[in-house]
Amino acid sequence: MLHSKLPDVGVSIFTQMTLLAQETGAINLAQGFPDYDPPQPLLQALARHALTPGHHQYAPMPGLPRLREAIAAQVARLHADAPAPDPATEITLTAGATEALYGVLAAVVRPGDEVLVFEPAYDLYGPAIRLQGGVPRYVRLPAPHFRPDWDAVRRVLTSRTRLVIVNTPHNPSGAVFTADDWHELARLLDGTDALVLSDEVYEHLVFDGAPRMSARQHPALRERSFVLSSFGKTYHATGWKVGYCVAPPALTAELRRVHQFLTFAVSTPTQHALADALEQDPDDAHARGLAAFYQAKRDEFRQLLDGAGYELLPVPGGYFQLARYDSISPATDLEFAQFLAREKGVAVVPVSAFYHDGFDEGLVRFCFAKESATLQAAAARLRG
């Protein structure tokens, strides 16, 4: 008889709500993907490389050298206060940030190791830790601002803490780590062997003029951190499933030991297309323009929901809006999400899905990475 390694894990809430949207014809503001295409020059580059002889076989396991070099150059420009990463020994292309997350956990977490997870948390973290025999240790981020309680973190850290997972900008809340947060984390980890997995896939989506800060920019954290990024988020191309990890050589070597047996290599023509995009944008105009682009969408969506009965929580970054609905309904967040899909024609995600114990604070998550027409149609249904 098969004994499941994850007997309590079913189909993800994102898949469930997307299926419900398809069944009911609801506008899908649940799953985090844009409903617009990547930039035309990038699409043209992909079409060109898809037809280029010699671009149809395995790429090198760590990624195409020209793409790793282009990433290193961009990281150096955007993180001018940190040493540039070595493209040969510190950058690895992965099949989306999802593979990078799993690969890091598989590389460094051993049975009995503890991994600190801030909740609400992306639903991959807990199961992936458990699959390595690790023990998730959860610290709850308090609403409405979802900033870490560093005293609570201190109480959870032990000699068995192998890894701390940070996600900034944060999914689902949009909270952004500040310089003080990075300093506190470094101070708590000083003198320990704990590593950091910094999930920065929404790295360019920091709003209201706040500085975008990475674990790489903190000298005490740089040498113990895996920093994850996602071309899918940056170029509105989540279906391409291309991400990368920047980490010191010793950590990168461990990740690559696993990566070579997970996917080995990432799509060759896609890597060439992304290298073209980075090489042809030496001022990083696309990446630097994303904050204003998504801040405008955030502001538009919040204005459209004004007066609809929701309490809209702050959104410092990312492309999700959390909303409290207690003035509309006493239902659980899952019941309310199902109601919105079936009766109002808008699919959302209940935030309890981001807690290992199903903690329900009466919040739902909207994705505003959508065309204006989509946001307007969804808001009209929500206000109806």
Cis upstream peptide for 136 (omega within 30°):
no
pLDDT value of position 219 = 94
For residue 142, CA distances in Å to 118, 325, 359, 360, 367 come to 10, 17, 12, 12, 21
pLDDT value of position 337 = 97
The one-letter amino acid at 91? I
pLDDT value of position 12 = 86
pLDDT value of position 83 = 95
Domains delineated in the chain: 13-38+285-383 (3.90.1150.10), 40-279 (3.40.640.10)
The CB-side HSE value for 100 (13 A sphere, CA atoms) comes to 32
For residues 195 and 77, give the distance between their C-alpha atoms in angstroms, rounded to a whole number.
25
For residue 129, CA distances in Å to 5, 123, 157, 187, 288 come to 12, 11, 16, 24, 33
Nearest CA among 168, 143, 204 for reference residue 351: 143
Contact assessment for residue 130 and residue 6, using Cβ atoms and an 8 Å cutoff: yes
pLDDT value of position 228 = 98
For residues 35 and 233, give the distance between their C-alpha atoms in angstroms, rounded to a whole number.
12
Buried b (16+ CB within 10 A) or exposed e, 94-111: bbbbbbbbbbbbbbbbee
> If 0-12 CB within 10 Å is exposed, 13-18 middle and 19+ buried, where does residue 356 land?
middle
pLDDT digits (tens, 9 = 90+) for 129-141: 999 999 999 999 9
Tokens 């989306």, located at residue: 96
pLDDT value of position 198 = 98
The one-letter amino acid at 22? Q
Please identify every stretch of the chain with a pLDDT value under 50, giving residue numbers as ranges. Answer: none
pLDDT value of position 222 = 97
For residue 373, CA distances in Å to 165, 227, 265 come to 36, 35, 38
pLDDT value of position 187 = 97
Contact assessment for residue 216 and residue 222, using Cβ atoms and an 8 Å cutoff: yes
**pTM over cut 0.85:** yes
**Longest pairwise C-alpha distance within the chain:** 60
Q: Helix/strand/coil (H, E, C) string of 216-227?
A: HHCHHHHCCEEE
Buried b (16+ CB within 10 A) or exposed e, 286-318: bbeebbeebbebbebbbebbeeeebebbebbbb
For residue 15, CA distances in Å to 12, 348, 368 come to 5, 11, 18
Tokens 């990433």, located at residue: 71
